[in-house]
Amino acid sequence: MTNPLLSTAALPDFAAIRPEHVQPAIQELLAAAQAALDEAVKPDTPADYDTLSGILDTATERLGTAWGAVGHINAVADTPALREAYNAMLPAVTEFYTAMGANEALFAKYKAVLAAQGKHLSAPRRQALKHAVRDFVLSGAELQGEARTRYAAIQERSAELQQQFSEHVMDATDGWHHIASAEELAGVPQDVLDATRLDDGGHKLTLHFPVYLPVMQYAENRALRETLYRAYVTRASEAGKPEWDNTGAMREIVALRQEEARLLGYANFAEVSLAPKMASSPAEVTSFLRDLARRARPFAEKDLAELRDFSKGQPLESWDVSYWSEKLKEARYAFSDQTVKQYFTAPKVVAGLFSIIERLFSVQITEAAAPVWHDTVRYFQLSCAGQPVAGFYLDLYARPGKRPGAWMDGVRSRWLKPTGEQQLPVAHLVCNFASPVGDKPALLTHDDVITLFHEFGHGLHHMLTQVNDLGVSGISGVEWDAVELPSQFMENFCWEWDVLQQLSGHVDSAEPLPRELFDKMIAAKNFQSGLQTLRQIEFSLFDMRLHGEPGAEADVQRVLDEVRAEVAVLVPPAFNRFQHSFSHIFAGGYAAGYYSYKWAELLSADAWSAFEEEGVFNAATGQRFLTEVLAQGGARDAIDNFKAFRGREPQIDALLRHQGMA
């Protein structure tokens, strides 16, 4: 039987991938990639863009696609055997990419290509080469002797630790449950009761978000809320099982990053992280965050004062905030998330999203056949003028063995291969919504709808690119602090009346969202936006300080406490160990980059203001956004994409206005 990871078919056979396939396939592809690297750096191999791409990109793209498929299955259908197979090959894959990124001979070839051909290459290829040369430096290509050896060891150990951190969070989330009686769950929505009910009439509560959040919002039993809150905020910490404690992993990850920075000649890892980003320095980022905190603080203080006043002297600990906030929102705006949820069934929302994409960007979306990893996963083809341009998998529902959160990831990128064959981009769009119960469709909260639009924005960035060079195709080569622009931009559609009419249909009556309820949602849109903004700034400033102050890893809790003392108005209890499950920065690529959400929010709000001015479904505006932002991928600097679309530099006014803090 053919190893599915070695297939050259247009789509990976996810249904056929088994743990025993991983080692032989990845070893074979690593050997081929190493042979290609050896060929590329030979003295008699011409320093020519097409020659090097034909040799090296062909082999490394196959390796990357196969390893990406293994990593994906490990994230969405984790089993002990698959995890073992993935971790067994992780050091070898990391070692190869680390060695290639620091290969002096290859670095010299790229510099020679840039010098000889730079002026004559297309703009995307020049950009890809510039990025490659920069990344060689950041990957230790200029290091010698012991420093080079140590750099490689740091990369390998860091990859192991980040995978370990992620596994601990998943295991700690999957490994906790609480059996509650129906009486204990007074106030909790019926769909959550149905989804958690056991045969004996009890209810199995977990820390997965579709269960955790509604319990925190609606459960009248304060002791139950405290039980879940304590379990959730101490996941993967010393409060749980020792084998899931991320304390040591956090310290070592950050210490290794600081050591890497010193080897590369930087003062701290934050400087390394920002080298390929829009922001120029840690000082610029912290100044941006503190300025935003200053603007948001009066609104946050007002939010908290209103909550204290509404709770009328009742305790307001961290496990009470979601409950009383939901009560206040219901009292003030006369609706609840649960009421809204009845109007958003997953099939209707997905169909409405597709309709908007088709209308705005002149594409067509149709379901197609493809091997999938779970029977709830669907595959779609995206076409333009009848011609396929991309594909994507949609995996919407939470389940055991699936990593928490929501994300977009590339299966493969758009690429005009050296053979002349056009490779089309394919994406994964993954969420963790509550599954359908019985014969009724899954119900989405409005926040779930926003999440789906957000991830689809990333998907559009990946799929609608017109760039044919791997290094800058789709989201590749896009500055990390600008990569959220399309995703956050798409969230704005979820607040438009005409759009919600397309997305909504009551689960029982099929009636669309009533205007009265929509008006209340709009009135509540910026409910507690001050508190939410400060919370994001708290995480961002903690991340930047942790990676910008060598030695901070020795007392991670102290850094977080100091940040909270500076910016927070709502300080969590001392036992809170949020950082132990902060996968974004310890295992997800956002190290010294979490500020990117707020940074890109400024860009996306200002971009959306063009649609507010010219019409939400204005075809010309949509086409301009497609042409100047989505289609460009990383072929131009993000600021140039923005200015080409907007006609000017970005301004903060739209962000403050959209969040009710003007």
Active site residues: 455
Residue 5 tokens read as: 């990871």
- Alpha carbons 341 and 195: distance in angstroms, whole number: 15
- Alpha carbons 312 and 161: distance in angstroms, whole number: 46
345 backbone dihedrals φ, ψ, rounded to 5° = -85, 145
* CA distance readout (Å), 512 to 305, 447, 452, 576: 36, 18, 19, 41
- The side-by-side arrangement of strands in the sheet containing 407-412 is 364-368, 378-384, 387-397, 426-433, 407-412
**b/e sequence 567-579, b meaning 16+ C-beta within 10 Å:** bbbbebeeebbbb
Residue 514 tokens read as: 């009533």
- Alpha carbons 611 and 607: distance in angstroms, whole number: 7
Three-state SS at 407 = strand
> In degrees, to the nearest 5, what angle opens at C-alpha 143 toward C-alphas 472 and 118?
35
Q: Longest Cα pair distance anywhere in the chain, in angstroms? A: 80
Q: Please tell me the chain's helix, strand, coil percentages from 3-state DSSP, rounded to the nearest 5.
A: 60, 10, 30
> In degrees, to the nearest 5, what angle opens at C-alpha 2 toward C-alphas 29 and 92?
25
Pairing between β-strand 387-397 and β-strand 426-433 as defined by DSSP bridges: parallel
First-residue to last-residue Cα distance in the chain: 63
| CA dihedral of residues 600, 603, 608, 610 (deg, nearest 10) | -170
Given the structure tokens 């209810």, which residue do they identify?
A: 203
